Each structure stands twice: as structure tokens, then as C-alpha cells.
Structure 1
């Protein structure tokens, strides 16, 4: 009794012979890996800067009782103090959203990453401008 040969190719190599060659690499894989590495490094740097600025803004109001404090930062409402403290965090969230929207909707990852860097830079710049005038 003999069995007919299979009508479709087998998905695995036979147990004898040289086997199948490995599949060729996909054309955009290195660009995606490079983008993921660049985005991860920029995100880590942004989180570190945001954390340091948040920590520094906790102590920035110590000079409000002296002549060294700026009038904008040391007003009685505390609104500018909140802007200086949470501005970098809000900018970080907006930058991450910019990258996600750029990658998913526009399919322009590198452009969205460059735009996200600019979006994030507004947060620390606003915080430092608020404190140092």
C-alpha cells in the first residue's frame, strides 16, 4: 500500500538533505529597528530631563522671598509655578502622542520623531523661561 504524495508543500524541511534556505530579510526592517532605537533613546533622555526639571521646580520657589525671585514665578496665585512644574510633563505626553499619531496615521515615523522633539522642547523651555524670566 502506498500513499499519494502531498498536494501542498510541507512547511518544514525534510529530515534529510540540506534543508530550506533562510528567508531573505525584509527591506524595511533595519529602518524600523533604527527608528525604535532612536525613539527609545530620545524617550529615555526626555524622561530624565523631565524628572530633573520636576525635582528642580519643587525647590525653585525658595527664592520667592528674596529679591532673586522673578515677579512672574512668585505671584500669589501659583499658576506660573504649576506651569513651570508640569509643563515639561505635559510636553512629554504631547510628544509621545505626536510620534504615535505620526507612525500610525501618517506613516511618517522620522518626520513625526523630529516634530515630537520640537513639541517636547517647548515644555522645558517654558519652564526655564518662567523661572528665570
Structure 2
């Protein structure tokens, strides 16, 4: 034979232990989803541009020693060749850090994205300037 549970006055039963946290929803709603889509598309475009530039810069040194090579790119140190090859990747990493810090620390995602676009654009521009400049 068992006894019925004791009747408690509201709230039923008294809380013991830590409270259950409320359900979390996605922050930002539709604007957060739009930001994620725009950021993903820009990232895919930047990765494609970086791949094409890296492939092109791998063969850009073939013109050194001919009249088609630029003096800056074909100098003996090879610094500009490294800038042209790895500059867009470094700029993409800097832009990604800018967006992440803008979203996480400052809570200003669109401002961070608007700042990250020219930061990234400086990398391919510097690469193209070092070759064709």
C-alpha cells in the first residue's frame, strides 16, 4: 500500500537544486540569419578569389627575366613575390578576425562586416599591384 504524494500549496513542488535555464533562441532573428547568409557568401567569394590569385601568382614569376616582368615583382629578394602570393590569405584572415571580434565583443555585426570588406580587398589589391604595378 502506498500513500498519495503530499499536497503542496502553489508553486508545486518547492524547488530544489539549481533552476532549469530557459530555452535559448537564436539571437537576432531574421537579421541574424541574413547576416550569416551574407557573411557565408562573401567568404565563399573571397576563398574563390584567393584560390585564383594563388594559382596565378604561382606562375607570375615565369615572366621574370623577360621584358614582361615588373622590376618590383622580379627583384632578387623575392619579398614581393611572397607578398603577392600570401597577401590575400593574410588579408582574409585579418578580415575574418575583424568580423568575429565585431560580432562577439562589440555586438556590431554589420559594422564589422563593412569594415572587413576593405580590409580583405587590400590583400588582392596589393597582390595585383606588386605584379602589374
- The verdict on how the C-alpha distance between 1:26 and 1:55 changes in structure 2, with shifts beyond 3 A counting, is closer
Q: Which residue of 1 aligns with 2:101?
A: 101
Q: Which residue of 2 aligns with 1:44?
A: 44
Q: Which residue of 2 aligns with 1:13?
A: none
- Alignment partners' CA distance in 1, 2:27 and 2:72: 54
Cα displacement string for residues 68-123 of structure 1 (whole angstroms, at most 9, x for unaligned residues): 10000000110100000000000000000000011111110000001101100000
* More helix per residue: 1
Q: Which runs of 5+ in 2 are unaligned?
A: 14-24
Q: TM-score, normalised on structure 1? A: 0.81
Q: Which residue of 2 aligns with 1:19?
A: none
- Alignment partners' CA distance in 2, 1:27 and 1:96: 20
Q: Report whether the alignment pairs 1:65 with 2:65.
A: yes
Aligned-residue CA RMSD (Å): 2.0
Q: Which runs of 5+ in 1 are unaligned?
A: 9-24
Q: TM-score, normalised on structure 2? A: 0.81
Look up the SS of the partner of 1:65 in the other structure. Answer: coil
From 5, 12, 16, give the equivalent of 1:7.
12
1:1-133 alignment, distance < 5 Å: 4=7, 7=12, 28-133=28-133
Give the deviation of 1:7 after TM superposition.
1.6
Give the deviation of 1:28 after TM superposition.
2.8
